[in-house]
Amino acid sequence: MFTFHLKKSAGPAGPRLGEMQTAHGVVETPVFMPVATYGSVKTLTAEEVGELGASIILSNVYHLYLRPGVELIGGLGGLHRFMNWPGPILTDSGGYQVFSLAPFRTLSDEGVLFRSHLNGDQHFLTPEKVVELQETLGVDIMMCLDECPPFPAPEKDVRRAMDLTHRWAQRSLAAWRRGGQALFAIVQGGMIPEWRREQAQALAELDFPGYALGGLSVGEDKDTTLAMVEATTRELPEGKPRYLMGIGTPEDLVEGVARGIDLFDCVLPTRNARNGMAFTDTGRVIIKNAAHARDPGPLSPDCGCHTCRHYSRAYLRHLFMSREILAYRLLTFHNLYYYFHLMARMRQALADGRFAEFRRDFYAKRTEGGILSG
């Protein structure tokens, strides 16, 4: 079972409020999905991820396929049970990972032959196999295998990736057993708005339960990313959820929502936490800066997260300088809380019909607090 209900919308490429119903629960959109690459949101238990405010998480079929193996997880009752996460899960198809991580790959119409980045073993994945793997994992939202072209790339390569992605989407649809799981198609098209529109229209005709925007934030500038988002969302069916893959910063989330995106995922809040960076409304805090050494205040004075309620910047800096694992956890708590809270504030603003005002305030605060950046 999978349904999407649009509660409020400002047009095909405008901000919207929705509700996604999956076999493992309801997701209020727009929503941010934390990344559990190997079946754990790095440093956290699934229980903590839920307490922080996640309603859906993302995992990677590419990584789980290589380690510990999808069949192993299936034999233990599926990914939800394996990682003790009772809520919805979306898995990425591995398309992006094969093209960004595998040290060697050969593409054919049939599928992609590649070597594992872990041990060099050779593997062959097809669109049908990738659907099957995700069905075995028992996830709520599956992604079609796609080809993600590099950036920059010759136009003919972008075109070929689009066409292959389309044929693979058709094959994925045919392989999909239409159980309780949804299948999303991925729109490619490089940085050419006409091609983004063209692929969006073509995939829309296939009537998938949802659509993703792939191949973005791969090196292009922000204006280009947002132009591609706008070109795509404008052509997608309004009643289907839209997922902007692998993006982004707090600013990206605000701009994505403004252009009609419903789902986001990104490693930024978790990875940057482990690198000592905290997101706040007024800017970014680099915890190793000497200025924090004796600071008894929290990362962010208005934040209600566990870290801000209990720990000072001085303690966080000390832990980080001492390479204590607790530093990574406490910053992860904060950053994910900040992301979930940001999405909740956007949903509230959308519900109250004051999203434009929210967006203005969001940028105003950041400018005022620029001193905290860096």
Residues of this chain that interact with a second copy (CB under 8 A) are 38-40, 42-45, 47, 67-68, 72, 75-77, 82-84, 293-294, 296, 306, 310-312, 314-315, 317-319, 321-322, 324-326, 328-330
As measured in angstroms, the least distance from the Cβ of 80 to a second copy is: 12
Shortest distance, CB of residue 296 to a second copy, whole angstroms? 5
DSSP letter at 370?
G
Cβ count within 10 A of residue 156: 8
> Shortest approach of a second copy to residue 77 CB, angstroms?
8
Provide, rounded to whole angstroms, the least separation between the CB of residue 213 and a second copy.
Answer: 29
- Active-site position among 92, 140, 146, 281: 92
Two structure tokens written together for 340 = 């979930």
Q: What is the CA radius of gyration of the chain?
A: 20
Measured between alpha carbons, how far is residue 340 from residues 243, 323, 329, 344 in Å?
Answer: 16, 26, 16, 6
- Buried b / exposed e over 78-115, threshold 16 CB at 10 Å, is bbbebbebebbbbbbbbbbbbbebbeeeeeeeebbbbb
Alpha-carbon gap, residue 113 to 98, rounded angstroms: 9
Q: How far is the CB of 83 from a second copy (least distance, A)?
A: 7
At position 113, the amino acid (one-letter code) is: L
At 133, list the tokens.
Answer: 């793997």
Cis ω before 88 (30° cut-off from 0): no
3 state SS of 237: coil
Nearer to a second copy by C-beta: 123 or 317? 317
| Residue nearer to a second copy on the CB measure, 51 or 357 | 51
CB-based contact 304:72 (threshold 8 Å): no
Give the active site residue among 146, 252, 265, 281: 265
The residue (of 99 and 328) whose beta carbon lies closer to a second copy is 328
Q: DSSP string of 280-328?
A: ETTEEEETTSGGGTT--S-SSTT--SHHHHH--HHHHHHHHHTT-HHHH
Report the nearest approach of a second copy to the CB of residue 92 (Å): 17
| Closer of 291 and 293 to a second copy (Cβ) | 293
Please, which residue, 49 or 145, has the CB nearer to a second copy? 49
The yes-or-no answer on residue 109 being catalytic is: no
| Minimum CB distance to a second copy smaller for 179 or for 297 | 297
Q: How far apart are CA 210 and CA 82, in angstroms?
A: 26
Catalytic residues: 92, 265
